[in-house]
Chains A and B, each alone.
Chain A
Amino acid sequence: MSGRQRVDGQTAFILHSYAYSETSLIIDVFSRDFGRLPLLARGARRPRSAMRGVLQAFQPLELAWFGAGEVRTLARAEWLGGMPMLGGTALLLGYYLNELLMKLLPREDAHAALFNAYATTLQSLAQSRNGSVSATTHLRQFEKALLRELGYGMVLEREAVTGEAVLPDRLYHYLIERGPVLTAANHEVAGDQIQGQTIRGKTLLDLARDDYADPRTLSESKLLMRMLINHYLAGQALQSRRVFLELQEL
């Protein structure tokens, strides 16, 4: 897509915003049909700007923009509503989602399914009270949807080498970009590719079905997702994770 264009009535979320000059903002938005892109919000930092209260993260907005080049200009922003502000732990989880999108999603790549998954996850976070099991469920679902949309979909129910069904009572290692292998078969398969902890077959099957009632599933799937996400982050540190851990230490 090149040349000048005007986009109207686009549902979007703000992932982050940066001050740009005394009076303007650059907003990093995630839109339904155009993916992630930066927009210049002229005058949005002025005290009486009508946009000032509207340009908040974690709220569905309807945006219009125009222009060519890397940074288009925001023309209009309207509050769509229906989503309470995130509070407490949900807010930190929200920052984590935004940071994942900012670091893993290439610019101007439309991902409508991921957009819907993001909106649903925020809605559930806004309604769940403080780090409950349901919040974790939504987080894992979102991480899976993100990997799938980026083309790194996870294999959970079939063994990577033999293609046999994963059995709940066996132990597996998870090979990045391949899938689970039985721990006993490790040395024959991949030698130094093996990373991370062993995982129960039940955890893999629970993760495939998004069933986190089992506490061991909860902890093992968290570690597995962290290993995979760290791999795709390729060395970029997650600030939201660091801040979260530092807050736990106080």
Chain B
Amino acid sequence: MPGSLENLIEALRCLPSVGPKSAQRMAYYLLQRERPGAQRLVDALTAALSRIRHCQRCNTFTEDECCERCSSAKRDPSLLCVVEMPVDLNMMEQTHAFNGLYYVLMGRLSPLDGIGPKELKLERLLERACDGAVKEVIMATNFTNEGEATAHYLSDLLHTRGIKVSRMARGLPVGGELEFTDAGTIAQAFYERRDY
């Protein structure tokens, strides 16, 4: 096999869940059937690599020092919502319920995968939340064990810095009927029931 082909296959393996076989298939496909597509891929990758960076304030991907949302005067700077990934931010935006700013962790604490506070750069979030304008931090990490661990430790760290922290409520979905809801959700909604 020519060296450059071997290199390409090896390089494609950096993609998530791409093993040696899929990498080989992709390489052959690109070289045989999709040369213009391969060129577009090269151009897009080069452009993205040189232009995309993390927003200084919210950590999400942007082409600017500070993203559009973080620079907007229409947003309430006293509220900071912490999410795991950019897709979570998009979901929060779709609710039209929140007009504050965000911080995107780009992950979650996951001790068994070796992802701790250093890997997540948690000190950047602490710095961001202590800018003086933030009055309340809303934890909107996932309701998985990892999301819970992340929310718990961040709240501890923010509390000691005198910042009010809240956590998204969990329970039955809107319009949800007990009969059609999974047992885990109902159980947790029961454990976390509130005065009414």
A→B interface (CB under 8 Å): 16, 19-22, 50, 53-54, 56-59, 79, 81, 84-89, 91-92, 94-95, 98-99, 102, 239-240, 242-244, 246-247, 250
Q: How many whole Å from A28's CB to the nearest CB in chain B?
A: 9
Residues from chain A with a CB closer than 8 A to the CB of B8 are none
Report Cα–Cα, A243/B110, bound state, in Å.
9
* Separation of A79 and B116 alpha carbons in the complex (Å): 29
**Out of A22, A56, A81, which one reaches B145, CB within 8 Å?**
A56
Binding site for A on B (CB under 8 A): 16-17, 109, 111-118, 122-123, 126, 144-145, 148-149, 152-153, 157, 182-185, 187-188, 191
Q: Can you list 26 residue pairs at the A/B interface with Cβ under 8 Å?
A: A20-B17, A22-B17, A53-B182, A53-B184, A53-B185, A54-B184, A57-B145, A81-B183, A84-B188, A85-B145, A85-B148, A85-B188, A91-B148, A91-B152, A92-B111, A94-B145, A95-B112, A239-B114, A240-B111, A240-B112, A243-B111, A243-B116, A244-B111, A247-B116, A247-B153, A250-B122
The answer for the CA separation of A85 and B149 in the assembled complex, in Å, is 11
Cα of A53 to Cα of B182 in the assembled complex, Å: 8
- Which among A16, A86, A95, A243 has the greatest number of chain B C-beta atoms within 10 A? A243
Neighbouring A residues of B17 by C-beta, 8 Å: 19-22
Q: A50-B182, A242-B111, A243-B111 are in contact. List 19 more A-B contacts (CB 8 A).
A: A21-B17, A56-B184, A57-B145, A59-B184, A79-B183, A81-B184, A84-B187, A84-B188, A87-B148, A99-B111, A102-B112, A239-B114, A243-B114, A243-B116, A246-B116, A246-B118, A247-B116, A250-B123, A250-B126
